[in-house]
Chains A and B, each alone.
Chain A
């Protein structure tokens, strides 16, 4: 039973204690990916293709190998053949085979006794290319005569006669869409595009890998999921997963981009080839931008019908997304999220996953959902505006609620979208009067949230404190949140719980920290583990008192007889029980392995005010409000941080971030100087309101908050710009050049 049905207020859950990693991080003691070193360690450097698409005719490493200090060079020839599928794709992306498929694709790697020698050696590796025609734009890649990235990559879902770069087609919906449009008073269509963006984590990928001739290895790596690193490296290298022990470092940002492998197998392959010496590989920013992440670029058509009162009657979406040279753009999630906020009698989705000469897309915070929201919320705003409706009222009229059959299938249980709309409407920002060239934009967003494979172990120490071993790297405050939930459950102090992210040898399989799952799934697993330790402690108390163990209950950190009939004994505290653990049955622990059920969706509503400089097209964010349903905020400061971070990344995507490719297919802006993520001075303090509609599927009501927040900013900013300028921008980013040109076109009529 959810704990909030028993108890509405908690001793610790919902408070804001100091973060457990705080002192380490502010003193520089925290160890990130590049901070690991090992005796005898070598440094690696990677040779990358300067071409978007090229046949690799010859790789000559003889000059590099002749350089003093160079210990090994690897190419694709050093990797085993693996069958088509996930591991082949990962191997092909780790190191090119016959062809380089994008600018920055790894072609060879070298290990040497110093970083300088490794870089010099990499420059001495001669690669002969035959340049092939390339395509980087999603609509160009969708054409019948586009350069073909890979023959035979399409799966069963792709009909014959489709464009050659289409590898997957999704086609689903329900209801009679045509009847829905026929019954509408207003039907509109729009075409929308978004450019690829990078997760933009501050810490570049880094690892130290070691692999001996006995097939046993170790890796220290910056990642969101070290079991994935283990499984994927093993698959790519043809070694046994359990023989590779992987330790996750502290992490300087991931946002989904660190849930997969990029260069990790290179360090292991180089180690194996240089006699098992550890090999360190640290990416530069340019390597990160050229060869890791990003998300997809999208080309989208949306059609919506509504009555004159603004009630939706039908909607369709056709999305085309390229996720680089491999299957895996987030077009499926994009379609599933597109209309999830609303009640819809009829809906149809069609999606195309398309290959192009760009890096392999990785997950990026609510993968696909922000693009979908940009198209759908943009068109809805336009239509409701045309009908003279208030954007919050119109959304309320159509809002998904408990019992709504969602656009993507399942029927929603208790959700909090309506509550976010109400809270937004009541916020003080809504009553600020706007001046000239200013506009207000509203948009809503959604993310499913997720559970996933989870293993947690909890042990009570001899003094009654508790250690919790988890396998989900802490990218957003999960250690603090898990400690709060465990301390609440055990009835001890927050400071008496230490949560550690442990290596792969210490627990069962854990999926990465992805899908907004860590506080939900690892948290729920930790609570289950605590409950099982509590049960053990109650059993020990029962034994001591000579009563039935069912007659013992756990209250405020102590076992006590459950009611007057159970007997009259003074409570036995966790400290007293722990002190006697050796003589009462040995160590006290609890653990959980499973896929914790009860995921609760999270909805959000954002309101942004902008001012556009009519002479330059520059957009300034004046104020920004995030309202989102957290279920329950275990540590509200972290929840607010997630809301603000999502908003900021979305603002960057809306205004300035984009992958700029030249006619030669090379990435033009692989540095933060020209890949323009927002800087602090670009933004006001992001206002947040945490709505709490507890998730009945979690003991403390947690839904997961990491991803929904990046979904509404793209359309919210576009809608605000439309309000400020009268111009509806259908293409992201809404850069000053683009907006000024649109304003000039309007002025000229």
Chain B
């Protein structure tokens, strides 16, 4: 195994583009190192991104959004009060990943690139309308987060491409987001179902909404049907029922060791209703 510590993303992309065998980028390492130890993924080239400047920083963008470096840990996100105030749903999704020790290392970008449909931080990012900057051998491009996952363990990134930053849009006024997941325990578990809702209110009515569903399909889903079910409503019982039905209707899950197909479909609806209510309350000023 060759271990690389490039100083720029362009260098990282160049190394990755010329690598022949199994290549992995290393940020937090909470997936890569575990897979390496278990012998399930033995990279020929391991490219450590943590020596690149800015990968550890969280900065406000000119338009009031957020730029988050690829090595920013879950613990750092949670410690950033302004970010938490803007995007509590994004942060609470990330903070559900792993244990306290894992939180010291694990990153949003890593969680996304691991390609798990059950990744806890990804529904929140998608609901938020987050984008990533992808650096490749032929330059950079911006991609919506929902376009990164391809299927379990797979992304749409091409050989030699690496995510160099993650951007959250400006939150704006009268808006809130929330993420809920179902696990049989209370922590240290993988989502059986995860739902994120981000919405903006106009008075008491939902003016805009984005709903993302995790662990119910090969990739995290951004559901238009769910959004349509609540936009224009005050999130009354009828709207919540419509939202639940829409969420369940979007699911295309499997039965596995973590839960059955029927369970995932039903609970997706339950969590969508519950998460929407939290996001609504937050938009009304409730604190996370």
List chain A positions with a Cβ less than 8 A from chain B. 119, 123, 284, 286, 615-618, 655-656, 660, 668-669, 672-674, 676, 678-679, 681-682, 735-737, 740-741, 744
Q: Write out the residue numbers on chain B whose beta carbons fall within 8 Å of the beta carbon of A615.
A: 267, 270
Given contacts A286-B38, A618-B182, contact A740 B187 (CB under 8 A): no
Judge whether B186 and A679 touch: CB under 8 Å: yes
Interface hit among B14-22, B194-202, B218-226, B253-261 = B253-261
8 A Cβ contacts from B30-65 to A: 38-39
Judge whether B184 and A679 touch: CB under 8 Å: no
B185 is an interface residue with CB less than 8 A from chain A: yes
Judge whether B260 and A676 touch: CB under 8 Å: no
A-B residue pairs in contact (CB < 8 Å), sample of 29: A123-B39, A284-B38, A286-B38, A615-B267, A615-B270, A616-B270, A617-B263, A618-B182, A656-B184, A673-B188, A673-B189, A676-B185, A676-B189, A678-B185, A679-B185, A679-B187, A679-B188, A681-B187, A682-B186, A736-B182, A736-B184, A737-B259, A737-B260, A737-B262, A737-B263, A740-B263, A740-B266, A740-B267, A744-B266
| Complex CA distance for A660 and B260, rounded to whole angstroms | 13
Closest Cβ neighbor of A656 among chain B residues: B184
Given contacts A119-B39, A286-B38, A616-B270, contact A736 B186 (CB under 8 A): no
Using A618-B184, A736-B184 as known contacts, list a sample of 12 further A-B pairs with CB atoms less than 8 Å apart, ordered by residue number in A: A119-B39, A615-B270, A616-B182, A655-B184, A656-B184, A676-B184, A676-B185, A679-B188, A736-B192, A736-B263, A740-B263, A741-B263
B230 is an interface residue with CB less than 8 A from chain A: no
Closest Cβ neighbor of B37 among chain A residues: A284
Binary per-residue interface labels of chain B (256-288) against chain A in the complex, 1 for a CB within 8 Å, 0 otherwise: 111110110011001000000000000000000
Q: Write out the residue numbers on chain A whose beta carbons fall within 8 Å of the beta carbon of B189.
A: 673, 676
> Residue A674 contacts which of B39, B258, B267 (CB distance < 8 angstroms)?
B258
| Complex CA distance for A741 and B182, rounded to whole angstroms | 16
Q: Write out the residue numbers on chain A whose beta carbons fall within 8 Å of the beta carbon of B192.
A: 736
B190 is an interface residue with CB less than 8 A from chain A: yes
Closest Cβ neighbor of A655 among chain B residues: B184
| Complex CA distance for A679 and B185, rounded to whole angstroms | 7
Give chain B nearest CB distance to A268 CB in angstroms.
25
Give chain B nearest CB distance to A620 CB in angstroms.
9
Give chain B nearest CB distance to A498 CB in angstroms.
35
> Residue B185 contacts which of A284, A656, A660, A669 (CB distance < 8 angstroms)?
A656
8 A Cβ contacts from B50-102 to A: none
| Complex CA distance for A682 and B185, rounded to whole angstroms | 6
List chain B positions with a Cβ less than 8 A from chain A. 38-39, 182, 184-190, 192, 256-260, 262-263, 266-267, 270
Q: Write out the residue numbers on chain A whose beta carbons fall within 8 Å of the beta carbon of B185.
A: 656, 676, 678-679, 681-682
Closest Cβ neighbor of B244 among chain A residues: A615
> Residue B190 contacts which of A119, A284, A674, A737 (CB distance < 8 angstroms)?
A674
Give chain B nearest CB distance to A681 CB in angstroms.
4
Q: Write out the residue numbers on chain A whose beta carbons fall within 8 Å of the beta carbon of B262.
A: 737, 741
Judge whether A668 and B184 touch: CB under 8 Å: no
| Complex CA distance for A617 and B187, rounded to whole angstroms | 17
Q: Which 3 A-B pairs have the closest CB atoms?
A: A737-B263, A681-B186, A660-B257
Q: Write out the residue numbers on chain B whose beta carbons fall within 8 Å of the beta carbon of A669.
A: 257
Q: Write out the residue numbers on chain B whose beta carbons fall within 8 Å of the beta carbon of A660.
A: 257
Closest Cβ neighbor of B273 among chain A residues: A615
Q: Write out the residue numbers on chain A whose beta carbons fall within 8 Å of the beta carbon of B258.
A: 674
Q: Write out the residue numbers on chain A whose beta carbons fall within 8 Å of the beta carbon of B260.
A: 737, 741
Closest Cβ neighbor of A616 among chain B residues: B267
Q: Write out the residue numbers on chain B whose beta carbons fall within 8 Å of the beta carbon of A656.
A: 184-185
Q: Write out the residue numbers on chain A whose beta carbons fall within 8 Å of the beta carbon of B184.
A: 618, 655-656, 676, 735-736
Give chain B nearest CB distance to A439 CB in angstroms.
18
Q: Write out the residue numbers on chain A whose beta carbons fall within 8 Å of the beta carbon of B270.
A: 615-616
Q: Write out the residue numbers on chain A whose beta carbons fall within 8 Å of the beta carbon of B190.
A: 673-674
Given contacts A615-B270, A616-B270, contact A668 B257 (CB under 8 A): yes
Closest Cβ neighbor of A733 among chain B residues: B184
| Complex CA distance for A416 and B38, rounded to whole angstroms | 49
| Complex CA distance for A673 and B185, rounded to whole angstroms | 11
Give chain A nearest CB distance to B213 CB in angstroms.
15
Give chain B nearest CB distance to A215 CB in angstroms.
35
Q: Write out the residue numbers on chain B whose beta carbons fall within 8 Å of the beta carbon of A655.
A: 184
| Complex CA distance for A672 and B38, rounded to whole angstroms | 13
Q: Write out the residue numbers on chain B whose beta carbons fall within 8 Å of the beta carbon of A618.
A: 182, 184
| Complex CA distance for A736 and B188, rounded to whole angstroms | 17
Q: Write out the residue numbers on chain B whose beta carbons fall within 8 Å of the beta carbon of A123.
A: 39
Closest Cβ neighbor of B260 among chain A residues: A737
| Complex CA distance for A737 and B187, rounded to whole angstroms | 18
Residue among B185, B189, B256 facing the most chain A CB atoms (10 A cut-off): B185
Give chain B nearest CB distance to A127 CB in angstroms.
16
| Complex CA distance for A590 and B263, rounded to whole angstroms | 64
| Complex CA distance for A616 and B192, rounded to whole angstroms | 11
Give chain B nearest CB distance to A606 CB in angstroms.
21
Give chain B nearest CB distance to A659 CB in angstroms.
10
| Complex CA distance for A284 and B260, rounded to whole angstroms | 29
Q: Write out the residue numbers on chain B whose beta carbons fall within 8 Å of the beta carbon of A740.
A: 263, 266-267
| Complex CA distance for A394 and B207, rounded to whole angstroms | 60
Give chain B nearest CB distance to A251 CB in angstroms.
23
| Complex CA distance for A741 and B267, rounded to whole angstroms | 11
Closest Cβ neighbor of A668 among chain B residues: B257
Q: Write out the residue numbers on chain B whose beta carbons fall within 8 Å of the beta carbon of A735.
A: 184
Q: Write out the residue numbers on chain A whose beta carbons fall within 8 Å of the beta carbon of B186.
A: 679, 681-682
| Complex CA distance for A674 and B267, rounded to whole angstroms | 19
Judge whether B259 and A736 touch: CB under 8 Å: yes
Closest Cβ neighbor of B259 among chain A residues: A737
| Complex CA distance for A676 and B257, rounded to whole angstroms | 11
Give chain B nearest CB distance to A729 CB in angstroms.
15
Q: Write out the residue numbers on chain B whose beta carbons fall within 8 Å of the beta carbon of A676.
A: 184-185, 189
Give chain B nearest CB distance to A739 CB in angstroms.
10
Residue among B187, B190, B192, B266 facing the most chain A CB atoms (10 A cut-off): B266
Give chain A nearest CB distance to B263 CB in angstroms.
4
Judge whether A674 and B257 touch: CB under 8 Å: yes
Closest Cβ neighbor of A673 among chain B residues: B190
Give chain B nearest CB distance to A90 CB in angstroms.
28
Closest Cβ neighbor of A122 among chain B residues: B39
Give chain B nearest CB distance to A748 CB in angstroms.
13
Residue among B39, B184, B256, B258 facing the most chain A CB atoms (10 A cut-off): B184
Q: Write out the residue numbers on chain B whose beta carbons fall within 8 Å of the beta carbon of A286.
A: 38
| Complex CA distance for A656 and B182, rounded to whole angstroms | 14
| Complex CA distance for A678 and B187, rounded to whole angstroms | 9
| Complex CA distance for A286 and B38, rounded to whole angstroms | 9
| Complex CA distance for A740 and B261, rounded to whole angstroms | 12
Give chain B nearest CB distance to A411 CB in angstroms.
44
| Complex CA distance for A735 and B189, rounded to whole angstroms | 14
| Complex CA distance for A660 and B38, rounded to whole angstroms | 19
| Complex CA distance for A34 and B192, rounded to whole angstroms | 35
| Complex CA distance for A736 and B262, rounded to whole angstroms | 12
Give chain A nearest CB distance to B260 CB in angstroms.
5
Give chain B nearest CB distance to A624 CB in angstroms.
15
Residue among A669, A735, A737 facing the most chain B CB atoms (10 A cut-off): A737
| Complex CA distance for A668 and B256, rounded to whole angstroms | 9
| Complex CA distance for A688 and B123, rounded to whole angstroms | 42
Residue among B182, B188, B259 facing the most chain A CB atoms (10 A cut-off): B188
| Complex CA distance for A616 and B39, rounded to whole angstroms | 36
| Complex CA distance for A673 and B189, rounded to whole angstroms | 6
Q: Write out the residue numbers on chain B whose beta carbons fall within 8 Å of the beta carbon of A679.
A: 185-188
Q: Write out the residue numbers on chain B whose beta carbons fall within 8 Å of the beta carbon of A617.
A: 263
Closest Cβ neighbor of A678 among chain B residues: B185
| Complex CA distance for A617 and B266, rounded to whole angstroms | 11
| Complex CA distance for A678 and B185, rounded to whole angstroms | 7
| Complex CA distance for A616 and B259, rounded to whole angstroms | 11
Give chain B nearest CB distance to A50 CB in angstroms.
13
Q: Write out the residue numbers on chain B whose beta carbons fall within 8 Å of the beta carbon of A674.
A: 190, 257-258
Q: Write out the residue numbers on chain B whose beta carbons fall within 8 Å of the beta carbon of A284.
A: 38
Q: Write out the residue numbers on chain B whose beta carbons fall within 8 Å of the beta carbon of A736.
A: 182, 184, 192, 259, 263
Closest Cβ neighbor of B99 among chain A residues: A679
Q: Write out the residue numbers on chain B whose beta carbons fall within 8 Å of the beta carbon of A737.
A: 259-260, 262-263
